[in-house]
A and B are shown apart, each in its own frame.
Chain A
Amino acid sequence: MKLEDTKDIAAPRTVVWEAILNPEVLKTCIPGCQELTGSVEDGFEAVVIQKVGPVKATFKGQVTLSDIKVSESLLLTGEGKGGPAGFAKGAAKVSFADTDEGGTRLTYDVEAKVGGKLAQLGSRIIDGFTKKLADQFFERFQDGLEEPVETENADEEGEKPKKGWLKRMFN
């Protein structure tokens, strides 16, 4: 399973770069993350609860950041074992570039694979699931960084922050 996407974040590249190295940010952004301990240098230990189709499991595993080129790119890899539910592994190559608007363009290239019960029972839905997880991660990441902007622009109809941000962009 592979997917590629980009996200434009209304924050400067240095801010975005620092954020992705921050364990608290990672913990907030990894969907279903219950615990995340460790450091960029030594890697992180994570506990993630996820439900894929009929399989719900607690995954324990490692998250590591490698191939670090400051403010340019890094490789985010994760491997989680869910006991009888099987395992999930993924790697995201994330690149950072400036946008014309002074924000940051995040480009990510994700490769994921699953094994065990997750593969046997979830193969029909695993592609969509992987995309959902990746999207959630980067959306949360984006939302987190843009929070101050969103607070300012949140309108009364309760539109999604993302929309608010887009509206601001085009106004």
Chain B
Amino acid sequence: MAADGGMGFATKRREDVRFLTGRGKYTDDYSPANTTYCAFARSTVANGTIKSIDVSAAAEMPGVVAVFTGEDFVEVGGNPAGWAIVSRDGDPMKEPKRPVLAHGKVRHVGDAYAAVIAESLAEAMDAVEAIEADIEELEAVVNMADALANNDVLVHDEIGTNQCFDWGWIEDNRAATDEAIKNAPHVTTLELVNNRLVPNAMEPRCSIGEYDPGTGDYKLTTTSQNPHLTRLLISAFVMGIPENKLTVHAPDVGGGFGSKIYHYGEEALVLAAAKKLGRPVKWTSTRTEAFLSDAHGRDHVTKIELACETDGTFIAFRTETMANVGAYLSNFSTATPTFLHGTLMAGNYTVPNVYVNVKAVFTNTAPVDAYRGAGRPEATFSLERVIDKAARELGINPVEIRRKNFVKPDQYPFASAAGLEYDSGNYDALMDGLEKHADLAGFEARAAESAKNGKLRGLGVNSYIEACGIAPSNLVGVLGSRVGLYDAATVRVNATGNISVMVGAHSHGQGHETAFPQVVADMLGVDPMSVEIVHGDTSKIPFGMGTYGSRSLAVCGSAVYRATEKIIKKATLIAAHMMEDSAENVDFADGEFSVKGTNKKVGFGEVALKAYIPHDFPIEDIEPGLEETAFYDPANFTYPSGAYACEVEVDPDTGKVDICSMVAMDDFGNVVNPMIVTGQVQGGLAQGIGQALLEHGVYDENGQLLSGSLMDYAMPRADDLPNLVVDHSYATECTHNPIGVKGCGEAGAIGSPPTVVNAVVDALQRGGHDVEHIDMPVSPARVWEAMNG
């Protein structure tokens, strides 16, 4: 164990030194010599036929270097979906082409149909206004039920339907689930909406394309959570640039939340333009473009049924969900509502029957894809809302009904009815902690106090399980994933003993630059500050699958662990050679190699130096150098879980909801840096509370985005949040990765929305209002209507 700063230490984030002093280097900070600037012409209608695009006036505008339209990319491939879903009837999902620039038709407001490259951004923007596009507006389809019921208006004419797929999970369980529900003594039904969210990372997307005519090398500098995937998609599907001729570099990235996992057409465009012009081409999204063209999140409409015994024992969950995929399939838009959602629909419970039906629907809206939590918040919200309603109907305490159905500690590994194998957990222990931390017993007294002040107080509880580090590759391949879900790391011990670790995960707020060295330093017994993380650059890193799904530490961290194990193994050989003994007799601890039963020892630094100055190496036995790579493919997901409680006060006159307290008890397995984990949970809670109370991406019936600015789309602010109590001290280790870690990045956003809504409904019920459910965001208007409607 490292003296300080190893596993478990709340080391301050070293990357914050540059972020907090304005020294971060984001994509937009990079302007290579001779850069040109790109601006896009985007559709103002949701559905339309492109009759003609006259760019002649734009091309004559001052400073304009080139103008591109969809016509220029007809021969280029489409941006593919990363996961193939098979419908219940065996048909493959409908997969219409997603072009670099719209051609023939525009399919959502913000769909880019032309791009201007100019000497300055202002000139490019001016010239966009001079493009004469004759786009005949067609009727748009926005509502999912309409889109499925009626084929008169199609988002993609060539597929003849607006339904992407009709998926059943697990289809073989359908009959049994139907039967169980039919025969159940009690069935609770709830229809709910999981509101559309706009990600709104603080840093908007930005991409710079470069091309070197001398070597034929391309470089894309871009705001990505996943540079290797972007390179793979551009190489294999969109542009055919060989991977060894394309570098993708994602430098500091100011938040992603999922929206920067994907490859976007703007990235292909700046590369193509850079090649054509022989000059760098830069595009920086405006906030308005971000609202219109970043992949949105959630947007499910669900009917869920919970069948149970009268004592509250769960018999079955059955759901029917419509999931909006928007106008085009974003890279993981088909995985999010299916394998990241349906598989979690047994929750933390021993329920024997689960059947999930998801219809994915094309609409004339921005694409929808994974957003912090990606499918699991939708699953948790449906489950935990219907459980709350069932508890109320049966007169059972909401904590007790959950406890009654929890998977118990002696049941692991537990095969859930939704097809996953949970490896570890202890939900009762988390609930015990919650009862104490949130002082659930004292609630009635606080409610009485609130009543004195004319407020309705409510208590919401929730338990969640989620699945992080989606895996393993052999399973996901069977299920339709078109990529493997392993990760890679190279640990390079330099001659002077300091260490560079090249990782396939990308850090854009997660603190990898601090946490990953803690793992390595702990294993090698060196100063964490001597370990440096290299990430985000495909030319420097062997391979990687990026950062999403709370996978970085569990998957890439495990690759780092495995590579470090290989380093220790090789260094042991070198140390044995140095001490003239056999490797079996050499121990390694606290940064020192020693020969058992002797006082012979060498330090890790001496071994590192020797590795690079191998004057007397037995070269046939030991190669020079000290660098190892590991690819790690997890055996299973990891399963973080939690128990949350929230108390709210509702103002009966205005419907305004104030969150008085939010307590999050999470089991993340082993924790490398508790301070970073707490920060991750706090951020997730803020986003979850934002979804519950404030955020809503709204399109009107014509497909116009009405919440298209930060004036119209309410992001949570500090004064919308209570003091967040976060406790992750209780842990059950992940059983299948070497660090025993689970994943904490999304938990807060998964666990908090149902907790808040449960609390609001509780407050209204206690106030004598017969309110079963309020859809998010639980705005004052909706609460007031529920009370008075």
Contact = CB atoms under 8 A, between A and B. Distances in A.
Interface of A: 83-84, 86-87, 113-117, 119-121, 123-124
A116 to B, nearest CB: 3
A124 B705 CA distance: 12
A115 B129 contact: no
A87 B43 CA distance: 11
Nearest to B292: A120
Contacts of A114: 704
B620 interface: no
Interface in B323-349: none
Interface string B699-716: 010101111110110000
Contacts of B125: 84
B639 interface: no
Interface of B: 44-45, 109, 125, 128-129, 288, 291-292, 700, 702, 704-709, 711-712
Contacts of B291: 120
Given A83-B129, A120-B288, A120-B704, A115 B44 contact: yes
A117 B706 contact: no
Nearest to A119: B704
Secondary structure at the B interface, as helix, strand, loop or mixed, is loop
In order of increasing CB-CB distance, the 6 nearest A-B pairs are A120-B708, A116-B44, A119-B704, A123-B706, A83-B129, A115-B44
Contacts, number: 51
A121 B44 contact: no
Contacts of B706: 119-120, 123
A119 B708 CA distance: 8
Nearest to A82: B44
B128 A84 contact: yes
Contacts of B288: 117, 120-121
Contacts of B129: 83-84
29 contacts: A83-B129, A84-B129, A86-B44, A87-B44, A87-B45, A113-B704, A114-B704, A115-B44, A115-B45, A115-B109, A116-B704, A117-B44, A117-B708, A119-B109, A119-B705, A119-B708, A120-B109, A120-B292, A120-B704, A120-B705, A120-B707, A120-B708, A121-B709, A121-B711, A123-B700, A123-B704, A123-B706, A123-B707, A124-B712
A120 B703 CA distance: 11
Contact of A119 (B128, B700, B711): B700
A108 to B, nearest CB: 22
A117 B129 CA distance: 13
A121 B109 contact: no
A140 B124 CA distance: 40
A121 B702 contact: no
A7 B709 CA distance: 37
A116 B292 CA distance: 10
Contacts of A120: 109, 288, 291-292, 704-709, 712
B699 to A, nearest CB: 9
Contacts of B700: 119, 123
Identify which of A87, A113, A116 gathers the most chain B CB atoms within 10 Å of its CB.
A116
Given A87-B44, A117-B44, A121-B288, 18 more contacts: A84-B125, A115-B45, A115-B702, A119-B109, A119-B704, A119-B706, A119-B708, A120-B109, A120-B292, A120-B706, A120-B707, A120-B708, A120-B712, A123-B700, A123-B704, A123-B708, A123-B712, A124-B711
